[in-house]
Structure 1
Amino acid sequence: MGSLLYDGEDRPIHIDDRALAHLKVVIATKLRRQESFTLSWKHSDSEPGGRSTIWLHPSIPLRFVFDEEEPPELNMQWVEDLMHSANSTGGIMLVDEVLDV
């Protein structure tokens, strides 16, 4: 389970390493372009119900921490799906990976 450390917060946002690796590509691309946007996710079963949203801006400190030493192979369709949501008015909604069967 990876973590997203946002704006010096003491409490990390826990996100599966694989999902975090895909989010990192999309977030880094948007921030490199000096674009601001939101990131939303549903709370895990271990947290109180609901969802959260944060505002991401190039000037806000952000750190990605992975438990796995090696990065996973990326599913480019998932990256594209996340990028498409990042470019929408609602911002990135962390959705599950869809695998071709």
Structure 2
Amino acid sequence: MGTLYYGESGTPIGIEDRALAHLKVAITTKLRRGESFTLSWYHPADQPRGRSTLWLHPSIALRFVFDDPDSPELSRDWVEELMRSANSTGGIMLVEENLDSDHLADKRPQPVG
């Protein structure tokens, strides 16, 4: 389980390492371009029901911490899907990786934890 820290509050946001690695690529690409956007996710089962959204801006401190010291192999399709959602009016909605491209329409948002 990796952790995303955003802003001065330093409140940790637990995200599975593989998902966090993919998010890191999408987020840093957007922020490097000076673009702001939102990141949303559904709360994991061990938290109160609901969802959260962050407004990501290049001037706000951001840190990615991974439990696994080795970087996972990235899925180009998943990164591209995250980038497409980052460019939409709704921003990035963290969804589960779907390894079977024939079932892309069946994706549903998943908890990040």
Question: TM-score scaled to structure 1, two decimals?
Answer: 0.97
Letter aligned with residue 19 of structure 2: A
Q: How does 1:1-101 map to 2 (within 5 A)?
A: 1-100=1-100
Query: Residues of 1 paired with 2:11 and 2:35: CA distance?
Result: 25
Query: Residues of 1 paired with 2:17 and 2:4: CA distance?
Result: 10
Query: Residues of 1 paired with 2:10 and 2:89: CA distance?
Result: 29
Counterpart residue number, 2:104 = none
Letter aligned with residue 38 of structure 1: T
Query: Residues of 2 paired with 1:9 and 1:45: CA distance?
Result: 23
Structure 1 residue 9: Cα displacement: 1.9
Report how many residues are paired: 101
Q: Deviations over 1:45-74 (max 9, x none)?
A: 111100000000000000000000001000
What is the RMSD computed on CA atoms of the aligned residues?
1.0
Query: Residues of 2 paired with 1:8 and 1:76: CA distance?
Result: 32
Identity %: 68
Counterpart residue number, 2:105 = none
Q: Deviations over 1:5-39 (max 9, x none)?
A: 01022420000000000000000000000000000
Structure 2: state its 5+ residue gaps: 102-113
Query: Residues of 1 paired with 2:86 and 2:13: CA distance?
Result: 18
Query: Residues of 2 paired with 1:63 and 1:17: CA distance?
Result: 13
Question: TM-score scaled to structure 2, two decimals?
Answer: 0.87
